[in-house]
């Protein structure tokens, strides 16, 4: 199942990057490359504590938030908001491929996809 989910996220990442190509705002490729990883700045919240870190990480990595921003962009015909939403969506899908999910408040490594680095959390439940 993990491979299937990773392939799904890979497809969503590719779709998002293609949409960013269409809504590139005239910026050069290298700027988009840097911007693609900019949502990870939200991890600076972990310098305060895990609760603040998880809040800001989840805010910038939640696909619903990305779609909301994108929707406002489409509704107002604002290409910048469309591009920001696409960027957040694509980055979040990319992170899911790497195993980084939305964070619980207790530990950076505790995600909705399981524990980072824990081989047992990535296996399917036994008995099914």
Give residue 27's pLDDT: 92
Residue 124 domain-assigned? no
Give residue 118's pLDDT: 65
Secondary structure (3-state) at 63: helix
> Domain range for residue 19?
2-107
Give residue 91's pLDDT: 97
Residue 122 domain-assigned? no
Q: Name the DSSP letter for residue 112.
A: T
Residue 80 domain-assigned? yes
- CB-based burial of residue 122 (10 Å sphere; 0-12 exposed, 13-18 middle, 19+ buried)? middle
Residue 9 domain-assigned? yes
Q: What angle do CA 3, 84, 105 make, to 5 degrees?
A: 60
Total number of domains in the chain = 1
Residue 113 domain-assigned? no
pLDDT in tens, the chain (128 residues): 788 989 999 999 999 999 999 988 999 989 999 999 999 999 999 999 999 999 999 999 999 999 999 999 999 999 999 999 999 999 999 999 988 989 999 988 898 888 887 654 444 444 43
Residue 55 domain-assigned? yes
């Amino acid at each position: 199942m993990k491979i299937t989910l990773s392939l799904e996220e890979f497809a969503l990442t590719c779709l998002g990057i293609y949409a960013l190509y269409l809504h590139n705002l005239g910026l050069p490729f290298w700027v988009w490359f840097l911007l693609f990883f900019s949502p990870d700045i939200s991890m600076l919240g972990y310098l305060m504590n895990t609760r603040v870190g998880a809040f800001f990480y989840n805010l910038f990595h939640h696909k619903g938030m990305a779609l909301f921003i994108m929707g406002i962009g489409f509704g107002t015909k604002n290409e910048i908001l469309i591009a920001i939403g696409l960027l957040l969506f694509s980055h979040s899908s990319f992170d899911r491929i790497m195993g980084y999910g939305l964070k619980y408040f207790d530990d950076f490594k505790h995600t909705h996809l399981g524990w980072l680095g824990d081989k047992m959390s990535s296996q399917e439940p036994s008995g099914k």
